[in-house]
Amino acid sequence: MPTPIQQRRERERAQRQQLIVATARELAETEGWDAVTIRRLADSIEYSQPVLYSHFADKGAIIDAVALQGFAELVTVLRSAGTGRSGRKKLDALAKAYLDFADEQPALYEAMFTLASDLPFGTPEAPSSLREGYEELRTAFAAHADGRDVDVLTEVGWSALHGLATLTRARRLRPDLRDQRLPLLLGLLRG
C-alpha cells in the first residue's frame, strides 16, 4: 500500500530515469557514443554518479534503455508509414521509413543493433516493441510472399534493409548509387 508521498517519489524517480535516458541519447547523437560517459551524464542531470547507478546496473543498461526507446519509436514510425497503404505501396513506404529512421538517428540505431548487450529477442519477455516492429514489417511482406514462407521473407528483407543501413552509414557503398539501391531491393522483394 503506497502512501501518496511514496507515489510522488516514485514519480520523480521515473522522471529522472527518463531524463538520464534522454540525455544519453542526445549526447550520443550529437557527439557520438564515445562521448557518453557516466561523469558527463551525471554533470548533465546535475546529480552525482552513484545516482545513475541507483537507476541502472551499469552503463550497458543505459544503452539498452536508449535502444528500447528506439524500438518503440521505430514501431510508431513504421505504423504511421503503413497506415492507409497496402500491397506494393505499403512495402515501399515501410522500407523507406526504415532506412530514413536509421539514417536520421544513427546513434540511436547503433544502440539498437550494435551496442545493445543482448536485449532478449526471441524470448517470451522480448520487450513488446521488438515483436511489434517485426509484426509491422511482416504484414507488409505478407502481400508479396507468393508461396514463400512469410517469416523467412520478412527476415531476409529486414536483413537487407539492415545491411543497407549499416553499410551506408559506414560509407562502404558508392554515394552516386544511393538512390538506386532501395528501388532495386524493392524490385527483388516483390518478386
Partner DNA sequence: CTCCATTGCCTAGCAATGCTAGAAACTGGA
Partner DNA sequence: TCCAGTTTCTAGCATTGCTAGGCAATGGAG
Q: Retrieve residue 48's grid coordinates.
A: 552525482
- Return the ∠ at Cα 71 (arms to 112 and 146), rounded to 5°: 100
Is residue 26 close enough to count as binding its own copies by CB under 8 A? no
Residues 6 or more apart whose CB falls under 8 angstroms from that of 144 comprise: 87, 88, 91, 153, 189, 190, 191
Is residue 89 close enough to count as binding its own copies by CB under 8 A? no
Q: Retrieve residue 180's grid coordinates.
A: 538506386
CB 82 → DNA: shortest distance, Å? 37
Out of DNA, its own copies, none, what residue 189 binds, judged by CB under 5 to 8 A for its kind, is its own copies
The length of the chain in residues reads 191
Is residue 73 close enough to count as binding its own copies by CB under 8 A? no
Stretch that binds its own copies, among 58-66, 75-83, 85-93, 173-181 (CB under 8 A): 173-181
What is the pattern of x (binds its own copies, CB under 8 A) and - over residues 108-147?
Answer: -----xx---x--xx-------------------------
Q: Retrieve residue 41's grid coordinates.
A: 551524464
Size of the site for its own copies (CB under 8 A): 36
In the three-class reduction of DSSP (H, G, I as helix; E, B as strand; rest coil), residue 143 is classed as: coil
In the three-class reduction of DSSP (H, G, I as helix; E, B as strand; rest coil), residue 62 is classed as: helix
CB 63 → DNA: shortest distance, Å? 10
Cβ-contact 115, 57 below 8 angstroms:
no
Out of its own copies, DNA, none, what residue 37 binds, judged by CB under 5 to 8 A for its kind, is DNA
Q: CB-wise, 54 or 83, nearer to DNA?
A: 54
Is residue 5 close enough to count as binding its own copies by CB under 8 A? no
Consecutive H or E run containing 154: helix 150-169
Out of DNA, its own copies, none, what residue 79 binds, judged by CB under 5 to 8 A for its kind, is none
Is residue 173 close enough to count as binding its own copies by CB under 8 A? yes
* Helices (H), ranges, 1-127: 4-31, 38-45, 49-55, 59-82, 87-104, 106-110
Interface residues with its own copies (CB under 8 A)?
113-114, 118, 121-122, 148-149, 151-153, 155-156, 158-164, 166-167, 170-175, 177, 180-181, 184-185, 187-189, 191
